[in-house]
Structure 1
Amino acid sequence: MRLDKWLWHARFFKTRTLASRYVEKSRCRIDGRAVEKPHATVAPGMVLTFALGPRVRVVRIVALGERRGPAPEARALYEEIDSP
């Protein structure tokens, strides 16, 4: 699944366009590698690191999701990892 689409499904961004722009302008990391393309592929087990507001979020992808559902469904797509 595309990174921007997953970020939108997981409700980190209100629209997929915002998620896409964020990935292009801000550096996200997938398993420690910097990514600048919104079409980067993500899969369960990968670790995403990105700054969102004043926090740096470190999450492990648990599932991909088939739709952008309600918040409880979105939270089931990832698990938080404490940042070092």
Structure 2
Amino acid sequence: MAAATSIVAGMIRVDPVYTPAHLRAHGYAAAVTGEVSRAALVSGATDVVLYTDPTNPTSNALYQRLGYVRIADFTGYQFTYGAPEAA
């Protein structure tokens, strides 16, 4: 499966992309990701972005074959909020 967000400021993000493990290596991810990406451009997006796991060489190779270009790496942080713990 592959889906896309709504267009915002000319950009659409392809997310999520997922293939169950037992169905991988049949070209399904390539087909649906390619089609969702094409549909995003046809709908008027000037930019189509896709965030991926940089440690997954299989998906990264697929996205490059579809025409995606690595621009930058991002790191996510999670902060906990609330009262500081007592000393």
TM-score between the two structures when normalised by the length of structure 1: 0.24
The structure that is helix-richer by fraction is 2
- TM-score w.r.t. the length of structure 2 is 0.23
User: Which protein is bigger by CA-based radius of gyration?
Assistant: 2
Question: Per residue, is there more strand in 1 or in 2?
Answer: 1
